[in-house]
Structure 1
Amino acid sequence: MLRCNRPDCGLGEIDKQGFCPKCDKRPLPREGAVSPAGVAQEQRAGSARGVSVGVAQVRPDPWYGLDLIDSGLTADPPDPPLPVAGPVAEEHRFCANPVCGQPVGRGHGGEPGRTAGYCANCGTRFDFAQPHGLTIAGRYDVERVLGSGAYGAAYLAHDRNLETQVVLKALNRSVARTAEHERDVLVGLRHDSIVRILGYEPQGPHLVLEYVPGVALSARDGDRLETLLAHGVRLLQALDYLHARGLLHCDVKPLNVIRFREEGSAGSARPLDRVRLIDFGAVRSQEEAGPIVAYTKAYAPPEDDPEHVKPTPGFDLYGLGMTLREVCRSHGIDRAAPGVDSLMLLLDRATDIVVPERRFVSARQFGEQLSGVVRQIVAAPPVGRQVARPSALFGSMTEPLHGGLGTARPLDHWVRATVAGDALLTLPAPFSCPGPRDMAGALPTPLSDPDDPRIGDAAGNALAESRLALRRRDVTRAAQALTRAGLPDWHWLHAWYSGLIALAREDVPRAAGHFTEVRRALPGELIPQLALGLCAEFRDDHEVARSHYGTVFDTTPALGAAGFGLARVHLLSGRRAEAVATAERLTQEFRYEREARVAIVRLLVTVPARQTPPAPPTHDDLTDARAALDGLQVDDAAAAGLEAEIRYAEFLRAHDRLRLSEAVRGLGAHAPTERAYVALVDLANRLRPALEWRWPALRRRTGRSRVEARPDTLGF
C-alpha cells in the first residue's frame, strides 16, 4: 500500500489515480524509481512555478477564504421542489407489446417524436408522458424525469440493489465515447464538492450518480456576499481536483451546482450550507483533441475564443466566473460596499473576452484572488475579521512609510523657523506623503506566480535586474531590463515594474495608471491598493487615498504603511479623532508600536498648514498628548522635540510665550552644530515675552538710571 511521501502531508494513502487524498498531489519520486509519468508531472509543475523575480516563493493555500466565513445555516433553507415529471427520452421508447418491442415515438427530420400514439408495427397504444414501469439495466426503476438536454435525459430512479434513490444521466454519443474511456476515473472521483459518481451503465450509456436533494445555486433572501463567494471557493476546489486528474467538466453553470443542507458533525449546533458540482454529461479528457461540442453558450467563452479550439481548465474557470456573476448580481450594484469593487474586477478578469490571456489559468490562481476578495469583505463591519497572511505574489514590506509622522519633527525645522510679530512660527510641513522615489524603493518585490508558466528564466532574471537597478536609482537601466524581459503589455508584472519605474522618474500620474492595471489583474491583493493610495495622497486626492488606505488597513493592520497614510489623510481632512484612532490601532502591531505612539502625540497637537478646514487641538487633545508623551520610551532628543511641539500647540491656545521659549531653548542641547545651536537660542530669545520695566524699583536697587542699565543683565 503506497503512502504519500511529501513532508507537508499526513501520509495519506495514494488512490487509484496516483494522488494523495489529503494533500491532493502525486507523491514525490522515490530514488531509483522515477516513472515517466512522474517525471512529466514534475516537469509540468516546475514550468508552472516559473522563476523567482527577487524573492523565493512558497506555495500558499489558495482556499483560505473558507476559514473566514461562518458556513452554518442561519435559517432553514426552502424545501427542494419535487422534480418535475417529464416525458421519457426517445431512446427509451419501445412498444409495450412483448412480441413486437419495436422503437416508437421517435422523431424524424428534426421534429420530436410523439409522446403518445400507436405502434406503427402492431398498433399497440403507447404513452410516454410519464415514465411508468421504465427500468434501466434491470436495476434502476425510473420514478421521474429530471430534465433533458443536449447531453441526454436525466432520471430520478430507485436502485434496487442499494435501496436508495440515484440519478441516471444519459450520455450522448460524443460524450459517451469519452465517458467510456474515462469511466474508471469518473467512478473514482471523491470530493466533498463533487456529486458522487456511483457507477457507469453501458446501457444507454448512463452515469449513475448520488441524488442530492437541493436546489440549483442561486442567491437567497438574506444571503451575505461572502456566503455566496464561499460556494465559489468550494467549486474552485472541486475544479482543481478534477483538472488535476486530467478532466474538464465543460458545463459549469448555476443549474449544474446543487446547493443543499448538510448536517454538521456531532455536537455541531447548526447544519451547514454546502454545494456540489453535478451533471458530468459533458465531461472530457484534457488530452482529447478537437473542440468542445456540448456546452451552454451563456456560460462558455465566445465561439471564436481559443478555448474552443484547444480546451484547457480555463474553459471551466470561465464558466465559474459567469456563474458567480449571475449569483452575485444583486450584490454588485453598490460597488462602494466593502469588497464589491474588487469582486467585480475579479469577475472581469475571469471572463475577459478582449484579452483572453488575462484570464485565470488554474483554479488555484482564481482561488487565491477570490479568497483575497473574501478577506476584504469580512474585514468590514459587522464581521470585522482581520487576517494577516503572507501575500502569494508580493514579498514582505518592511518600510513603514510614515512620511515623518512616526518621528519627532526634525531639528532642522526649528532651526529654519521664522517668527511673526505675534510669535506665530512659520515651520515646514510637520510630515508629508512619502516622495515617489521613496515609494519606489519601499514597495515590495513581486514573487513569481506559481500558477503562471509564461514567465521563463530569461524574463525572471531581467525583472530581478530591473528591481536591483531601481534600488540603485538607475532608472535607465531598470527600464532597459524590463524591456528585455519581453513581457506582454497586459501582464501584471509588466504593469507593476512600469509603475515603479514611473515613480522613480517622479511621474506619479503614470505610475497610478500602471498600478490600476495591476489592481485589475490582482483584485484580491492589497499591495496594488496600497500603491494606489500612496499615489492618490501625493496628488492630494484625499478621498481616493482614504478609500484605498482604509481597505488595506481594515483588512490587515500589519501593512503599517496603509495605517500611517490613513492617519495622515484623516488629519489633513480635519478628522483628528479618526487619525488618532488609526494610530492607536497601529500600536497593536509590534513592528510599528513605537512609531505609532509617536504619531499619536503628533496627531493630537499638529495643525497642518494644508488642513481644510483648520481644526486646532482642543484642551482635551493637549491633555491626551501630554499623557501619551509621559509614557513614551524615546531618546532625549526625540522627547525634547515632542515637548516643543506640545508647547507650541499650548501656545496657540494660551499664548504663553515663556513656556514655548523654554521648550525651544531645550532643543539647543541636541543641536548637531554650533550654527544650529545659535539659531535655536536666537529663536528662543525672540519668542520670549517683552519685559515689563519697573524703573523706580530698579533705580533703588542699582543706583543707575534707565540709560545706564546694561542689556546683558536682562538675560538676552
Structure 2
Amino acid sequence: MTTSCVRPGCAGRIMGTGYCDTCGHRHIEPRGTPATPPPVVVEESPGPPRVHAVAGAGELDQHALVVLPEVPEPDDVLLVEDPRPPTEGRRCGADGCGMLIGVGYGGQPARATGRCPRCGTPYSFLPQLARGDLVAGHYRVLGCLARGGLGWIHLAEDTRAEGHRVVLKSQIDAGGALARRTAVEERRSLTDLHHPDIVRIITYADHRPPGGTSTGYLVMDYIGGRSLQQLFDADADDKARVFHGRPRLDHVLSYGCKILGALEYMHERGLLYCDMKPANVIHFGRAVKVIDLGAVRAIGDRASAYV
C-alpha cells in the first residue's frame, strides 16, 4: 500500500484509516489493485498489549490516540519585570456597581489604583505579592508569571519540598466585592477537580501582608511547557524540532480528544469552562493540561459576571 500522500505539494503519509496525516486527503487505491490491510504489530509485555500505529501514524497510547512528541520544560522561566494593570479596565462590582474602572480618559493613561467614580469604592490592579514574600508559611514568591483574565499569576517555590514550584493565582482587585465572590466560587468548584488533563489545584491559601488586608490565593501545580498557542505560532524550524517536521492531523486529534475529555469531566460535575483557547492548554512532556480555571462557572449560573 502506498504510504505517501498523492495530493500535490503535501509531504504527509497515509495512515491506516486511509487518510493523510497532514492534509486529511483520502487516499483511494487504483481500481483493480486489491487493498492490502496494513499489519498491526503487538508487543508481548506483562501488561495490556501495546498496539503500534502504522503507515506514518506513530505509536498509540492506551486510549488509541497518537502519542504526542516530547516538549521539555524550558530552562528559564520568563517573569514579568514590570507588572502593569489591564488596559481594558474592569467592572467595579461593588454592591452591583457596573461602572468601568481602570481606564484612561482624555488621552491620559489608565490608573492602577483609585476609586470608582460612581460609588467611590477604592480599587487596585497592582500585584499583591512581591519577590521573596512567604505565603501560607512555605510558598516563597519568585516573581510574576503573567496577568490572567481575573488576576495576577505568580510563580513560587514550596520550601517544604525542595525544587517543587507552584503557581499562586490572585485577584487583580483583591479587595473588590466582585473579586471576593469570584474567589469563593473558585474555591468551591476547583479544589475538587482531579483529572490527568486538568491542572491540579493543591489548596487555597490566605495571605496578609504587614499592614495590609488578607488576600486569598489558589495554589496550583506549575506546568513547565509551552501552550498550544506558542507551539503553533512558532517558526518553521522550531516546529520541526518539536514535531519532527510539522504538526500532523493526528497530533491535532490527540490534542482535541484530551481537551474534550477534560471538558466532559467538568460537565459531569456541573461545571462549564467558558474560556477555551490554545493559550490555555499547556503541552509538557508528552501530556497536556488545561490551565487557567478562573472562568469556570456552574451550569445554569445566570448571575456571575461575564469573563
Q: TM-score, normalised by structure 2?
A: 0.53
Contact 1:151/1:171, CA 8 A, preserved across alignment:
yes
Give the corresponding residue for 1:207.
218
Identify the structure with bigger relative contact order (alpha carbons < 8 Å, sequence gap 6+).
2
Question: Take 1:65 and 1:133, find their aligned partners in 2: how far apart are those partners?
Answer: 42
Q: Indicate yes or no: 2:298 matched with 1:285.
A: yes
Equivalent residue for 1:71?
67
Report if aligned partners of 1:257, 1:278 keep a CA contact under 8 Å in 2. Answer: yes
SS in 2 for 1:234: helix
Equivalent residue letter for 1:209: M
Shift of 1:137: 3.8
Check whether the contact 2:198–2:289 (CA below 8 A) recurs between aligned residues. Answer: yes
What is the one-letter code of the residue matched to 2:66?
A: D
**Amino acid in the other structure paired with 1:170:** S
The answer as to 2:254 corresponding to 1:243 is no
Aligned-partner SS, 1:281: helix
CA positional deviation for 1:190: 0.7
* Partners of 2:68 and 2:254 within 8 A in 1: no
* Residue in structure 2 matched with residue 170 of structure 1 by the alignment: 170
Distance in 1 between the 2:188 and 2:303 partners? 22
Count residues with an aligned counterpart. 189
Tell me how far apart the structure 1 counterparts of residues 168 and 220 of structure 2 sit (CA, whole Å). Answer: 6
CA deviations over 1:378-418 (Å, ceiling 9, x no partner)? xxxxxxxxxxxxxxxxxxxxxxxxxxxxxxxxxxxxxxxxx
Structure 1, unpaired ranges of 5+: 1-63, 92-106, 115-127, 262-272, 295-716
| 1:181 Cα deviation after fit | 3.7
Task: Look up the equivalent residue of 2:259 and give its one-letter code.
Answer: L
Matched, 1:191 2:195: yes
2:71–2:225 Cα contact (<8 Å) kept: no
Q: How do 1:685-696 residues align onto structure 2 when only pairs under 5 Å count? A: none
Q: Deviations over 1:221-269 (max 9, x none)?
A: 32321112111101100000011111122211111111010xxxxxxxx
Tell me the secondary structure at the aligned position of residue 256 of structure 2. Answer: helix
The 2-side partners of 1:293 and 1:198 are apart by 26
Q: Secondary structure at the match of 1:146?
A: strand
The one-character-per-residue Cα deviations of 1:313-360 (angstroms, maximum 9, x if unpaired) are xxxxxxxxxxxxxxxxxxxxxxxxxxxxxxxxxxxxxxxxxxxxxxxx
Q: CA deviation at 1:81?
A: 5.9
Structure possessing the higher radius of gyration over alpha carbons: 1
Residues 288 and 201 of structure 1: CA distance in aligned 2, closer, same or farther (over 3 Å): farther
Which runs of structure 1 show a deviation greater than 4 angstroms over 4 or more consecutive aligned residues? 87-91, 107-110
CA distance in 2 between counterparts of 1:205 and 1:283 reads 17
Decide which structure has greater strand share: 2
Q: Percent identity?
A: 35
Q: Distance in 1 between matches of 2:188 and 2:149?
A: 24
| 1:359-387 alpha-carbon deviations (Å, 9 max, x no partner) | xxxxxxxxxxxxxxxxxxxxxxxxxxxxx
The code of the aligned residue for 2:153 comes to A
What is the CA distance between 1:89 and its match in structure 2? 5.7
Q: Is the 8 A contact 2:282 2:288 kept in 1?
A: yes
Answer whether contact 2:170 2:217 (CA < 8 A) is retained.
Answer: yes
- In the alignment, which residue of structure 2 is the partner of 1:153? 152
Give a deviation string over 1:470-500, Cα, whole Å, max 9, x none.
xxxxxxxxxxxxxxxxxxxxxxxxxxxxxxx
Contact kept, 8 Å, 1:144 with 1:156, in 2: the verdict is yes
Match of 2:79 among 63, 82, 85: 85
TM-score between both structures, scaled by the size of structure 1: 0.24
**Contact 1:157–1:165 under 8 Å retained in 2:** yes
Q: Which runs of 5+ in 2 are unaligned?
A: 1-59, 86-100, 105-109, 114-126, 208-214, 233-238
Distance 1:242 1:138 in 2: 32
Following the alignment from structure 1 to structure 2, what is the Cα–Cα distance between the partners of residues 289 and 176? 18
Structure 1 counterpart of 2:256: 232
Task: Determine if contact 2:68/2:287 at 8 Å carries over to the other structure.
Answer: no
The answer to which structure has the higher helix fraction is 1
Q: 1:254 aligns with which of 278, 299, 303?
A: 278
